[in-house]
Amino acid sequence: MIQLQNYKQFGGTHFESAALKHTLTHANIKNPITKKPFSEPLLFGLTGGVLPGYSFCPSVTKKSSGISIIPKRQLVACDGSTLEEFAKQLKLKITTKDTAAPKAAFKNLLGVLNDNLAPFTFISTFRLPSFDSSLLAGAYTGIRRVVIHAINESKNTAHIADLPATSLSISLDDLAAIRGSICTYKNRIQTFLPDQTITPDKLKSAIIAAIKSLPAEQRKPRQKTFSIQGLVDWSKLIVNDKNKRGWLKIYQSHAEIFRACRDAYESIEINYAPSLMRPLYAGFLTDAAKLLNNKQLTPVAKKYRTLGNLWSQLANTLLTDKIKPLKQTKTFLQKRLDLYLTKGDAARKQIAKTNQQLNDIQAQLFNSKSPLSNDEMRDHLQSISTLITQIVTHETDAIESLDAAIN
């Protein structure tokens, strides 16, 4: 077996910031002010922070609703630019290896493990070829980042550090498939040279730049989809039956609308849990307030915790307890995530059973009479729209308060 020496980094809140924390901790790159490993909230904020986004992809509506709620624009980038910008801000040396050839990709991976460098690895769980490895989809389906810490060729197994507190295993064939299916940079791995130092001034400057970037991008968003205006549009589209992107126009049955509600819920409380990552960003601002000695950031952190509560309220309205199959769906989604986080590999059979229960509920919704009348469905969607509008007000206030606190 080829493995990283003395590797002990597992667990976390979100796959990207957790993988970065694992990578930096193994490389012995520390916070120069606290003299300790970087906290995950601080790394989350340094690599982009939060901006709301509403995305509808019509090309996938045969298999899903095409709806996703995105917490920050950088998460949809699969080119590694987020990590490269982070390294540039802190003057850290980073090595990137790409290749479209599977054999070369495996050789690259073995090489960094032999050098005892933790590989920040890009994978896509959209392309999991076997159910056995669908364990990785228990917390997030899509493009994600993990650390591969060991390879056992004799057992055809790779060992992965992700959000659970223990190592996950996957076959080498599955690993090759999910590494090679990234659309832009196939088989990308990135590593940091060990024992690099960061000056306190560089860290403070990077924190300030990261905070300032959010109000700046909100004023001039690269895409309307990834801005507060995207939420404004969602609040209107969800009750619209005329616009070509309106939910009552796109979806031809109540079952399709319920599926869209499930997909939006999964964005908020599964894929970007908890609460569309607002509590994680609040943690960043709390850390930043101490590191910068800026007390004005503390009440802004509180605003983002309040936003987290509002996003969770919205999620619980999307899959309301008042509609039995939606309540059951929410219960099983949370059960699957909890199993993944607490048991990891040991939860494979239980996760498989839970996935089947979720599939059965969805089939029931598509094959049975809707539990709602048309008027009741409109009322359900209107209650969601009202909450989105409240969130828009609070997101706007939080961004403005953030701008004032840092400037």
Task: Verify that 184 and 205 share a domain, yes or no.
Answer: no
Residues 188 and 211 in one domain: no
Residues 183 and 36 both lie in one domain: yes
Are 178 and 215 contained in the same domain?
Answer: no
| pLDDT attached to residue 305 | 98
Instruction: Report the mean per-residue pLDDT for the chain.
Output: 90
pLDDT at 133: 39
Residue 69: CB partners within 8 Å, gap ≥ 6? 52, 53, 54, 55, 264, 267, 268, 272, 276
What one-letter code names the amino acid at 25?
T
- DSSP-assigned beta bridge partners for residue 169: 159
| 101-142 per-position pLDDT tens digit | 999 999 999 999 999 999 999 888 755 544 333 555 544 556
Please state the rounded mean pLDDT for residues 176-204. 91
Residue tagged 């919704």 (tokens): 365
Q: 30: domain range?
A: 2-63+73-192
Q: What is the pLDDT of residue 58?
A: 74
Asked if residue 68 is part of any domain, the answer here is: no
pTM: 0.93
pLDDT higher than threshold 70 for residue 70: yes
Distance CA 159, CA 172 (A): 10
As a whole number of angstroms, the distance between CA 380 and CA 320 comes to: 9
Q: How confident is the model at residue 227 (pLDDT cuts 50, 70, 90)?
A: confident
Number of domains in the chain: 2
| Predicted pLDDT at 148 | 97
Q: Do 220 and 269 share a domain, yes or no?
A: yes
Query: What pLDDT, in 10s, does the model give residues 7-23?
Result: 999 999 998 899 999 99
* 364-384 tens-digit pLDDT: 999 999 999 999 999 999 999
Average pLDDT over residues 216-245: 89
